[in-house]
Amino acid sequence: MKHAKSTPLPDKSWLGIFGAPVLLAALILFGLLSALLGQGGLWFLLSWAALIVPIGVIVWFVARPMKSRPKA
């Protein structure tokens, strides 16, 4: 998709801006509570899995432009 500089992009919707952050926040809260309220075992695993996702998301987006830089 191409946009001339003279026709600005439309503003993104609230969901477009906050959709991903809200999902990640929900995942973090689930991760924090599952280890605390669950009875160990599976709930610990779910907690670790949920909390590693936001860290993975950051690594993904930070590493991505570095990889694509030679092409740009």
Partner 1 sequence: MTSKSLRIWSLTHKWTSLACTVFMLIICVTGLPLVFREEIADRLSDDPPYVTLPANAPRENLDRFVEKAHARYPNDVIRYVFIDDDEPKVVVGLAPSYEADVKFNHTMKFDARTGDLLKDIPPATQRPLGFLTLMLRLHMDLFAGLSGGLFMGFMGLLFVAAIISGVVLYAPFMRKLEFGTVRSEKPRRVKWLDLHNLLGVVTLAWGLVVGFTGVMNELSTPLFGLWRATDVAAMLKANHDKPMAEHLSSAQAAFDTVHEMLPDRVISSITFPTVPTLGSPHHYLIWTKGDQPLTSRLFTPVLIDAETGAFTAVAELPWYLRTLEVSRPLHFGDYGGMPLKIIWVLLDLITIVVLGSGLYLWAARRRAPVEARLVEQDAVALAPEAAE
Q: Which residues bind partner 1 (CB under 8 A)?
A: 1-5, 8-9, 11-12, 14, 17-21, 24-26, 28-29, 32, 35-40, 44, 47-48, 51-52, 54-55, 57-58, 60-62, 64-66, 69, 72
Cα–Cα nearest to 51, from 62, 63, 37, 35: 35
Tell me the CA end-to-end span of the chain in Å, nearest whole number. Answer: 17
From the CB of 10, what's the least distance to partner 1, in Å? 9
Cα–Cα nearest to 25, from 51, 61, 48: 51
From the CB of 38, what's the least distance to partner 1, in Å? 7
